Amino acid sequence: MDGGLPSYSGDLAGLTPQERAWFEEAAWGAREGAYGAVQRTKPQTAAFGLTDSPVGLAAWIVEKMRAWSDCDGDIESVCTKDEILTDVTL
């Protein structure tokens, strides 16, 4: 597992469904938890960069849409380009 998660050298298939779900959720939190950490600890850091750069803000929004949707890395499988651009321009 990544992001400093507890290590488990066994086969995940040998775990209960609840244990596997915990590992999957912990892995997601390790990959995507930085957003919450930045907002909790240094919100102005992100605010200055996102306010100063329209391209930076667009990239941030699209990256979050991609990460937080159930798209397996293909954002256009769940949103059209028009929907993405609408969300970014709002």
- pLDDT exceeds 50 at position 2: no
pLDDT band at 53 (very low <50, low <70, confident <90, very high): confident
Contact 89, 62 (CB under 8 A): no
Q: For residues 29 and 41, which has the higher predicted lDDT (pLDDT)?
A: 41
Residue 5 DSSP SS3:
coil
What global pTM score does this model have? 0.59
Question: For the residues 36-52, what does the mean pLDDT come to?
Answer: 84
